Structure 1
Amino acid sequence: MAKEVNQPMAAIGEYETVLPFQAVGVKPYVMSEEESGHFESLLLQLAREKYAVIFVQEHLFEKFMSTVETVNEEYAVSVLPIPGLKGSSGTGLKSIRNSVERAVGMDIFAVK
C-alpha cells in the first residue's frame, strides 16, 4: 500500500476567485491587484513550507512570471494559473504548452 502524503495546497488571488477553493481543502490567500507587492514573498514562503500546489490568479501569474518560473524550477511545487472572474486570458494554456514543449522537446499541440 502506498504511503499517504498530506501536502497542503494554496490559492492566491482575488477574494471571489480563491474563496471557493477553501471548500475542497485549499488554503485561500486573498490578494488584490493593488496588494500584489507582497506576492513574491508569499509565493516563496509557501514554496519553502513545502506546499504541493499553488494556484495563482492569472493577472498575478503573468505579472510575476519570472518569480513563478524560478519557484517552479527550484522547489518541489507546482504553480498553476487560474482564471479570474473576468474569464481566462489564455495564460493557463500557454503555461501547459510551454511545460509540455520543455518535457517532450516539441509543441505537440501545434496545428499543421
Structure 2
Amino acid sequence: MSAKEKAPMAAVGSYESILPFKAIGLDVVVLTGENEGEIGHILNKFARSGYAVLFLEEELFVKYRAAVDEVNEHNDISVMPVPNQKGSIGAGLDAIRRNVERAVGMDIFGEK
C-alpha cells in the first residue's frame, strides 16, 4: 500500500451505535437479530478485504469474544470495542489490558 493510500475502516453494531461512523464515511454493517449470527463471517470479510480497523459495539465484542480474538490473532485488522448509547461496560479497557499483557508478558496496569 502506498503512502497516499489509506486502509479502510468499518463499524459493526446496532443502527444507533454505528450511525455516527457512517456519518464520517466509514463502511458500516448494521446487525439485527436476523444477521447477528453471521458475526464471524462479517469480521473475516473485513479482515480479508484489507481493513485496518473495525469498530465493534462493546456488547457484541464481549458476546463474540472468541471470534474477535481469532480474527485479531490471524489478521492485520484491529477489532476495537466501542460503547453504545447506553454507555461503556469496560470492554475497551479490558481489551487494551489483555493486548498489552500479551505484548510485554505482564500486566503493567496493576491490579484489576
TM-score clears 0.5: yes
Which consecutive unaligned segments of at least 5 residues does structure 2 have? none
Aligned residues: 110
Q: CA RMSD in A?
A: 1.5
Shift of 1:87: 0.8
TM-score (norm 1): 0.90
Q: Which residue of 2 aligns with 1:9?
A: 9
- Which residue is 1:84 aligned to? 84
Partner of 2:56: 56
Aligned residue number for residue 46 of structure 1: 46
Distance 1:30 1:63, change over 3 A: same
| 1:37 matches 2:61 | no
Shift of 1:22: 1.8
- State the distance in 1 between where 2:33 and 2:80 align: 18
Gapped runs of 5+ residues in structure 1? none
How does the TM-score come out when normalised to structure 2? Answer: 0.90
2:98 is aligned with 1:98: yes
Aligned-partner Cα distance in 2 for 1:101–1:93: 12
- Structure 1 residue runs of 4+, over 6 Å off? none
Sort the Cα spacing of 1:97 and 1:33 in 2 relative to 1 into closer, same or farther, 3 A: farther
The answer as to 2:73 corresponding to 1:73 is: yes
* 1:16-74: CA deviation from partner (whole Å, max 9, x where unpaired): 11010123221121113553112111111111111110000011111111111110011
State the one-letter code of the partner of 1:79: V
Equivalent in the alignment of 1:18? 18
Contact 1:17 1:85 in 2 (8 A): yes
